[in-house]
Amino acid sequence: MGSGHILVYAFDVLMEIYRECGYVDRDAAQAIIENNLFGLDIDNRAYQLAYFAVMMKARSYDRRFLTRKIQPNVTAIIETNAISQFYCEGVTNDNEFNKIGEYLIKTYKNAKEVGSLISVEGNDYVEFKEYIDNCNVSGQITMESNNWYSEVMPTMQKVAKQADIMARKYCVVSTNPPYMNKLEGELKKVVIEKYKAYSGDLFSVFMYRNFDYCTKNGYSAFMTPFVWMFIKTYEQLRTYIIEQKSIITLVQMEYSAFEEATVPICSFVLKNGKECKNGLYIKLSEFKGGMEVQRQKVIEALKDKSCNYFYNEK
């Protein structure tokens, strides 16, 4: 999610779609915030910026939006390291929901390290959050129940929200994943246990993981180093994508075009399923210059598909 630039751009695109369907801006802004945009980040400051950006974008379409008490579906991932158990005698009295609580506590240990690579079971976390909100102490207040209300309850309310976001399937998933091939601690353990075949770099792990966030035939969009297309380290990832998924579009940038990344990158869209149409590919490796040069060359290629750096292939 970062600081929300992708979400803000998507907001404007979605607004045009809602307008074409006859919505007024006020109702469309609410629908977009409640139903269409979701975001996660391990960094608290990035979450705050994204929250602010999305809410101000909604307000630009509805001047009274901030008075409507509508909350966006964005959150900073939190961990449950400080919680030993969910159950509290006299407070949490539903065994099935208590099992979900214990499961989430276990799942989100060290979550700041692992982030959105965590996989969660498909429980009804909205209903679980309502259960937490309605937990009332029966009988005398104890030190345990007081601690549950002051420490466990507020943490688990946030955990339920992030679990709901992570358990959903999305039509489009977009990210600029971390570029990191030296892993440590809990992150290294999870990657080796669950994603070993795709663990050449953290970005390649996300390329594989994000298919699981997609609906069938949904799309995942990335900006990553372009080495995954060529070297043997990523052969299993390439095989998986070619045999089971599809590349819809791919733009290979000039080697030093994206200065912020300090590595050669490409931008691409993958489909969570097989595509019968040809993919669209643009190779910009011969055009030196910054991202403005790359942007202009992409526009030129789309206007003139007979140019020698545009490819339309399976």
Strands 310-313 and 279-283: antiparallel
Same structural domain for residues 47 and 174?
no
Evaluate if residue 164 carries a pLDDT over 80.
Answer: yes
Domain range for residue 52?
A: 1-76
Same structural domain for residues 179 and 258?
yes
Distance CA 56, CA 61 (A): 9
Do 170 and 199 meet the contact criterion of CB atoms below 8 Å apart? Answer: no
Evaluate if residue 224 carries a pLDDT over 70.
Answer: yes
pLDDT tens readout for residues 174-188: 988 888 888 888 999
Q: Looking at residue 261, what is its pLDDT?
A: 65
Same structural domain for residues 161 and 173?
no
pLDDT band at 262 (very low <50, low <70, confident <90, very high): confident
Provide the whole-model pTM: 0.87
Q: Is residue 53 part of a domain?
A: yes
Strand partners, 214: 170
- Which three-class secondary structure state does DSSP give residue 175? strand
- Report the candidate in 104, 80, 85, 79 with the shortest Cα–Cα distance to residue 148: 85
Same structural domain for residues 200 and 221?
yes
Same structural domain for residues 110 and 226?
no
Q: In the chain, how many domains are there? A: 3
Evaluate if residue 139 carries a pLDDT over 70.
Answer: no
The share of the chain scoring above pLDDT 70, in percent, equals 98
Same structural domain for residues 54 and 104?
no
Q: Looking at residue 62, what is its pLDDT?
A: 94
pLDDT band at 314 (very low <50, low <70, confident <90, very high): low
Q: Is residue 89 part of a domain?
A: no
- Report the candidate in 126, 38, 103 with the shortest Cα–Cα distance to residue 77: 38
Geometric angle at alpha carbon 178, from 104 and 192, rounded to 5°: 60
Same structural domain for residues 133 and 243?
no
pLDDT tens readout for residues 13-59: 999 999 999 999 999 999 999 999 999 999 999 999 999 999 999 99
Q: Looking at residue 138, what is its pLDDT?
A: 65
Domain final residue pick, 114, 134, 167: 167
Same structural domain for residues 178 and 307?
yes
